[in-house]
A and B are shown apart, each in its own frame.
Chain A
Amino acid sequence: MPDSEQSSDKKNVKADAIIQLIVFRLGDEEYGLRIEQVKEVTITPEVARMPKTPPFIKGIANLRGDIIAIVDLEERFGLRPAGQELPATSYTLAIEAKDYTIGIVVREVPQPLSIPVSIIEKAPDFIQDININDKYIEGIAKVNGRIIIVLDMLKLLTPSEIMQLQSS
């Protein structure tokens, strides 16, 4: 009975929706963002350093006529060993927050990855190894032995959050 088969298929899809993530590396961990939060991925454009801003604000850049702030999350969360700088060629994820766009600089080319939404596990109440406040973390996905921390950018990128000097 092809009809019934199809409908049960549909049910399966609904129960186990596939989501697409953009996966990138910060420090030693892999992080993921839902693809709909990412506007584009590009080679980091020329960044104009802004004096009197916290060090994790790399500066501002011209992205197709939009002037956006470029933020270094490794620095923001203290994920990079001291003294280590970003490589000469890095990549920028343009993230669309509620009413502005912001660039997040990463060292390696971000990769898309499709996973079923059901494998994202709720993050434990507090996470010891990393300094990221757990409220930005939507969950943790285990894919073939990889652990991907799925971030909720919209929570992370509120202006007060992003300008906060040091995460606790």
Chain B
Amino acid sequence: MKSREQEYREIFMSEALEYYDAMSQHISELERNPQDQPSLNELFRLMHNLKSNSRAMGFTEIGEVAHHMETIFGLIREKQRDFAGSLSKVLFSGVDTLGTMIRAVGEEMPLPDVTTLLDNLDRLVRGEEPELADEELSDEDATRKLELSDLVYIQIKKLDHLLNLVGELIIDRDRILTLSKELGNTALQNTAAHLFRITDELQYSVMDARLVNVGSLLNKFPRVVRDVATAEQKQVELTLSGQDIQIDRNILQIITDALLHLVRNAVAHGIETPDERVKAGKAAEGQLRLSAQTERDDVLIQVIDDGKGINVEQVRRKAVERGLVSKQNAKNLDDDAVRAFLFEPGFSMAKEVTEISGRGVGLDVVKLAIDSLGGQLRVDSKLGEGTTFTLVLPTSIAVKGALLFELAERSYAIPLMHTDSVVSLMPEQLHIVGGVLMASIQSENVPVVSLKRLLYGEGPMPPVVRAEVQGRHDIIIIDYNNRKLGLIVDRFLRQQDIVIKPMSKPLDTIELFGGVTLLGSGQVCLVLDVPALTRLFLARRP
């Protein structure tokens, strides 16, 4: 196992060498066509990136040279200098020197002395003539080595494809395993068992190849926070932690907007103005923390502010105003249940529309993004002390634990992430309240509905009558956004890791199903989407 330090170094090297190659190419282009704007822009950008990367890794000399070069390319871009004569010579030698320095880092050799180069670059910035030694660029050209990087860049699309293929392979593997058991042939069973292990390993290797550091996203936030804080006239100090936690790249991509939203919200609405903070006895500068940590197989990302917190009573009032809950029921809801309303579509607490947030785009967007990953979004808040949003995300999108059950002679699956428990109840353990079945699960009243009734039929469901409740009921308790709901199914089958394939077009618009999976028997199994199922129940309850 390589140390993280070494891994970073390798990544730095491969990127730096790639920058160097690109610089050489663009500067040659610039020599042919000194006015070439795209090449200039590219060189400027490459120098800037190399500067940041080198400084982050502690290679300050490389950073220094890149910084000087960046300045001059900036001047050329602004037409204050021409890429010609002695200037071009110094820049060429600068690119070469950068190459030598990068290689020296790779070989862990001492870096060459760059004082003359830096002097010359400084002179150019001041508009003076550089002092050129004649022997430059001669020997080194002849002995220059060509190198290939140890790392390959790969399009995420190719990894997606690879992951899909592995998913298909696993489905076929399970089928072969089932068949080999049915046939009872020992040789076949042994081969199948071996195939099982190899595909498992293959799957984890592919999943591993897709992992990136959460830091690659978190590190973009200091700038965001600074900009939002300036616009909102707030003082905010941002602390990041857990940047080296690893997560699937596509998951990170999907939560980017959600996290951006939460951070902007925290600065714009969470953290108070310096005056308000001082009045409330807090430091003028607000604290915002973005942290990542692993918890079993999940990754937790938290946005924590020490701002004014969420006023539960205000949310409760607003929920009643918007007709999300009756006044009577609202009184009995606990704080968690009330805060869950924040995730309802269009539910915004912002009183005024600002440039940063409060444009009617609410937390429901965040919730939807997390839901699409099969993750969870939690909010915790103390009035006057601050708010914490917690995103619970799967490390990988490929495999999910699921509960399989039978309904109308077909198999269905529900992701374990959203299942609370599984119970079998006799009719006397079920009560009818307002036409809805109720069960007492761990001293909590949970509505129960026949999944068959819920899925088939239109309009509001007819109220349940006592005579219909007969025999033992197998019930899956699902949990979404602090709302529990029991689903009566025909029969529990088993718990199993499944590979969820997205629903193919044109059926991908039907949100009730999160996808499909193929069972070992070759049968197609629909994967129910718990958020959509909960919404369907709310829409159709009697």
Contacts and interface: CB of A to CB of B under 8 A. Distances in A.
B440 to A, nearest CB: 29
A69 B516 contact: no
Contact of A51 (B171, B172, B455, B501): B455
Contacts of A99: 505
Contacts of A100: 504-506
Contacts of A60: 503-504, 507, 516, 524, 526
A67 B501 contact: yes
Interface in B365-418: 410
A68 B523 CA distance: 13
Given A48-B524, A48-B526, A62-B522, A67 B516 contact: yes
Interface in A83-124: 97, 99-102
B513 interface: yes
Interface string B491-534: 00000000001011111011011001010001111100000000
A102 B506 contact: yes
A66 B509 CA distance: 18
Contacts of B536: 52
Given A67-B504, A100-B506, A51 B456 contact: yes
Question: Which of B504, B513, B516, B522 is packed against the most chain A CB atoms within 10 Å?
Answer: B504
A159 interface: yes
B344 interface: no
Chain B contact residues: helix, strand, loop or mixed: mixed
Interface residues of B, number: 24
A52 B510 contact: yes
Contacts, number: 66
Contact of B509 (A46, A48, A102, A159): A159
B168 interface: yes
B108 to A, nearest CB: 49
Question: Which of A50, A100, A102 is packed against the most chain B CB atoms within 10 Å?
Answer: A50
A49 interface: yes
A41 interface: no
A69 B506 contact: yes
Contacts of A101: 504
Contact of A62 (B505, B509, B512, B518): B518
Interface string B449-465: 00000011000000000
A34 to B, nearest CB: 21
A100 B510 CA distance: 16
A125 B428 CA distance: 66
A69 B504 contact: yes
B490 to A, nearest CB: 14
Contacts of A69: 504-507
B302 to A, nearest CB: 36
B452 to A, nearest CB: 9
A42 interface: no
Given A65-B168, A67-B516, A162 B506 contact: yes
A61 interface: yes
A11 to B, nearest CB: 42
B505 A46 contact: no
Chain A contact residues: helix, strand, loop or mixed: mixed
Given A65-B168, A65-B171, A163 B509 contact: yes
A151 interface: no
Given A65-B172, A67-B524, A53 B507 contact: yes
B455 A52 contact: yes
A57 B410 CA distance: 17
Nearest to A61: B524
B526 A68 contact: no
B504 A50 contact: no
Contacts of A53: 507, 510
Nearest to B458: A52
B513 A50 contact: yes
Contacts of A50: 507, 510, 513, 526
Contacts of A65: 168, 171-172, 518
Contacts of A102: 505-506
Contact of B410 (A48, A61, A157, A159): A48
B405 to A, nearest CB: 14
B507 A46 contact: no
Given A49-B410, A60-B516, A68 B504 contact: yes
A98 to B, nearest CB: 9
Question: Which of B168, B513, B524 is packed against the most chain A CB atoms within 10 Å?
Answer: B524
B504 A46 contact: no
A46 B168 contact: no
Contacts of B507: 50, 53, 57, 60, 69
A56 B208 CA distance: 42
A99 B506 CA distance: 10
Interface in A38-79: 46, 48-53, 57, 60-62, 65-69
A52 B512 contact: yes
A97 B526 CA distance: 23
A163 B506 contact: yes
Contacts of A97: 505
Interface in B467-509: 501, 503-507, 509
A151 B432 CA distance: 54
A50 B529 CA distance: 13
Contact of B505 (A49, A52, A57, A159): A159
A99 to B, nearest CB: 7
19 contacts: A46-B523, A48-B524, A50-B513, A50-B526, A52-B536, A53-B507, A60-B504, A60-B524, A62-B523, A62-B524, A65-B172, A65-B518, A66-B504, A67-B524, A100-B505, A100-B506, A101-B504, A157-B506, A162-B506
Given A50-B510, A159-B506, 5 more contacts: A48-B516, A52-B512, A67-B516, A67-B524, A100-B505
Interface of A: 46, 48-53, 57, 60-62, 65-69, 97, 99-102, 157, 159-160, 162-163
